[in-house]
Structure formats: structure tokens, C-alpha cells
Amino acid sequence: MNEEILVLVDDGHGEMTPGKRTPAFTDGSVVREHQFNQPVATKLVALLKHSGFSAHNITQGTADVTLPTRVKIANALAAIHLRKYPNGKVIFISVHYNAMSDKWSAPSGVETYHCYGSVEGKRLAGDVHSEILKGTVQSNRGVKEAGYYVIKYTSMPAILVELGFMSNLREASLMLDQDFQYECASEICEGVKKYFNITDATPKPLPVLTPSKELGYSKLRHLHNNYLTDVHIYKSNKPPEFVLGTPRKYEPIQSIASKYKGVKAIVNANLFPFSATEQAKSPLGYGLIITDNGQGKKIADYYQNSSPNFVDLIPWKNGSVTIETVQSHAVDNKRLAGIQGNAFFGASGCYALKIDGKDSKLYWDKVTHANSYTDRTMVGVDADGNWHMIIAECNSNSKGLRAIDQVNLCNDLKLTDVVNFDGGGSSAMMINGKFVTKNTGRSIPAAFICK
């Protein structure tokens, strides 16, 4: 509908840009500007696409990208777009959060910048700024001129929005609030429509991701690109138990659940070959299986070597979590004994999504469906030590997730260590003995349970 209009979105700063963070809160934590900018930019691109625009986030991911590189990418994308659409239009929006000092201070509010002397930049800034003021709780600091690099050297009308002050305690507290992030993205999108005088009936903004803060089961609709996916989450303040049904046998998930008492939630775990025939077909070997089978025994009922084909999720009894790989198919009995004696479980999954709080692409290249929209099973932990068992559905009403969408979901949920355990027909969740997913899953050899 509006595909001849390209909106280039810049998320301001990378994860490790020096100094771009709040002062310390009372608990000692800080919030980096990127933790606000990046999800707002992601939501903005999705909303723009939903409204029919062409849109692109020029700085996807968490890496630092230099200002000249950002400008070079933006100008190159603009040139490509205008070759495709000779009568097309391109604009540039850089998302930021302001600061007055490295200490808590009083200045607050939202301000929008355009480059000195840019007539179209000034008009774009005015239209976007006026819409932001309609939706957010921020005070008005006005539309201003500046010579910031990304709005000075880009080849299209460009603006830079400062959506609050991270040196203001109240506004800093909004940075990780996903409703506030969504409101900012939604109003910027409305400002773009105003600038291009688009008044036709475009789709309403999609709902924002609002994860539950409570323990137990919750469901949400995850927004990514132009799609929505049903996501089921079971949240616990202790690690789930990794269990087999009958060792060396594939069973329906409800059959595995029936073997244990007090199961509140269960999701499928990994798939791996058992028999000699299966091993011959899949010479890369087994995935790690170390479990007390829900009985709390000191020695695992069953364990097997890991494989260079998988990543291993290991929650240690001292509270730490590691996601490991091995380089050899040879059995390392010392490693296995160490996991048996010191960890809650050891389980192999397809690939990593988050390791030590950082986005990870570990072993994405070994899984052909990593770039496909499909069902997903994820298990991981957040910074507060709360564990999440997650199923993302793929059905007629739910798109499913690619690996990159999974990472964005993990970031929204503030997870620090996460492994993908499946990407297809096995993915299913039961709560208190009833399926909450439409898919009941195919037979599996192992599962995660919470009691």
C-alpha cells in the first residue's frame, strides 16, 4: 500500500557504547540506553510494515556500529530503494534516550531534532513530535535543530528523537517498560503517517508484548516483523526437572507426564537417536542426557555423551548456569560425572539464543530450520533466577518464530541463558494435565517438568 515509502530506523547506540546508561538504581543495577532503543526500533519497524510502509532497522542486533557506518548503510539502502521506486520517498529516524549527567537529576521530557536548515527534516520532526506528545507521559522540550552526524550526513529527511532522560529517575524507570516502549514506537509511526498525509484506513497497531511478572502459566501474543505468534510460558523460581519417560523409548508427552506425581507443567525436550541403526543414520552422536528422572537421586538414572552437533544446557546446584559445547564425539566420563554430582541436569538442545546475557547464534548454522517460521521450544533463566519453559506456536492463527525472532522474545522476557530444544512438530505444553497448545506434539524421549 505504502511500499514506495521507505522508513530507515536507527537504534542510536550499541550495547557497549561507553557511558550510555543510567546512574545506578538503589539495587545497584543500571539500564543501558540500547536496552530501550533497540526494542523501540524493532517495534517501530514492525508497526510501519503493518501499516504498509517499507521499513528497515539499519542496526539489527546489539553490536556497536560507528556513526559513519550507520550513515553509509542508510544512504546505500535509500539508493537501492529509489532505483526500485523512482518516485519513491525515504526518511530516516534515529531513536535515543537523553541524559543530562551521570547522576540523577531533574531535567526530563521529549525533544526531536532535525538538521540545520532542513525544511523537510523540520516538517518531519514537527509531525512526529506532535504525535509523540499525544501518547507518552513526557513533557514537551520542543523541536530543535542540531548537527548530529546521522541526521547531517544522511541523504534523506532525517530526525533524531530523544524520548526521555535516563538521568531522571522517573523516566529511567520507564525504559524497560514494554508498554511505554510500544507507545513510543506507535506514536512515531503515527507521526510518519501524518508527514506523508496518509489518512486512509490503515491497520490498527498490533498489540504489544506484555509478559506476565507472576510465576506460573501465562500466554502472550508476540509481535515480530508483521506477524503475531502465540507464546506459552511457564515461569518457576527453581529449575525444571529434566526427565525421561521410559528410557530408550519415544512416548506422547502426556504419557511421560503420567509417570510423575504433582506435574504442574510439562514441555517436550530434545530428540536424539537411540538404536545402533539410528546411530548409523546419524553418526554425529547423542545429545547430553543427565537426569535423576524426577526422583531426586544423587546418581542419574541415564546419561549419555554429548555431541559436537548440540549445545548443552547445565544448571549447576551453586546457582550458576552454563551453555556448553564439546569438540569430540568421544565420551568424557570425568565431565559426565562432574555434571551428575554438581548439576540439576544436563540436556542438549539445537542451538543457543542467549549466553551470559548476550545474544548468541551458537550452532544456528547446524540447524536448517533456524531461519524458518515454525513451532519452538525454549528453556532458559532470567537475571533473577526465574526459569522459563516456553512454547511458540505455529498454526493457522500463529506464525511461529525464526531463531532471530526467538532472540528478540528472549530479550523482551529479560532472559540471560536460553537454549532452543526443538523447532517443529514435537513442541507442546501441558498445564495441570491439559494441553494449552493446539499442537499436542509427536512422541518424544524426554521432557521438562515443573511440579
Query: Is 189 in the same domain as 220?
Result: no
pLDDT band for 59, please (50, 70, 90 cuts). confident
Residue 133, in any domain of the structure: yes
Query: Is 180 in the same domain as 220?
Result: no
Residue 93, in any domain of the structure: yes
Residue 204, in any domain of the structure: no
pLDDT digits (tens, 9 = 90+) for 117-167: 999 999 999 999 999 998 777 899 999 999 999 999 999 999 999 999 999
pLDDT digits (tens, 9 = 90+) for 379-421: 999 999 999 999 999 876 678 899 999 999 999 899 999 999 9
Query: Is 191 in the same domain as 261?
Result: no
Question: Residue 282: what pLDDT?
Answer: 53
Cell of 142: 520542543
Residue 367, in any domain of the structure: yes
Question: Which of 255, 258, 243, 242 has its CA nearest to residue 379?
Answer: 242
**Whole-angstrom distance, CA of residue 344 vs CA of residue 320:** 11
**Whole-angstrom distance, CA of residue 72 vs CA of residue 78:** 10
pLDDT at 269 over 70: yes
Domain total in the chain: 2
Query: Is 285 in the same domain as 167?
Result: no
Q: Which amino acid is at 158?
A: A
User: How far is Cα of residue 280 from the mean position of the Cα atoms in its chain?
Assistant: 37
Query: Is 141 in the same domain as 290?
Result: no
Residue 202, in any domain of the structure: no
Query: Is 6 in the same domain as 47?
Result: yes
Question: Residue 275: what pLDDT?
Answer: 54
Residue 209, in any domain of the structure: no
Tell me the three state secondary structure of residue 135: helix
Residue 360, in any domain of the structure: yes
Question: Residue 326: what pLDDT?
Answer: 87
Query: Is 128 in the same domain as 228?
Result: no
Residue 146, in any domain of the structure: yes
Q: Give the structural domain span for 278.
A: 216-450
pLDDT band for 206, please (50, 70, 90 cuts). low
Query: Is 432 in the same domain as 309?
Result: yes
Say which DSSP state 414 is in.
T
CATH number at residue 38: 3.40.630.40
Mean pLDDT of all residues belonging to the chain: 88
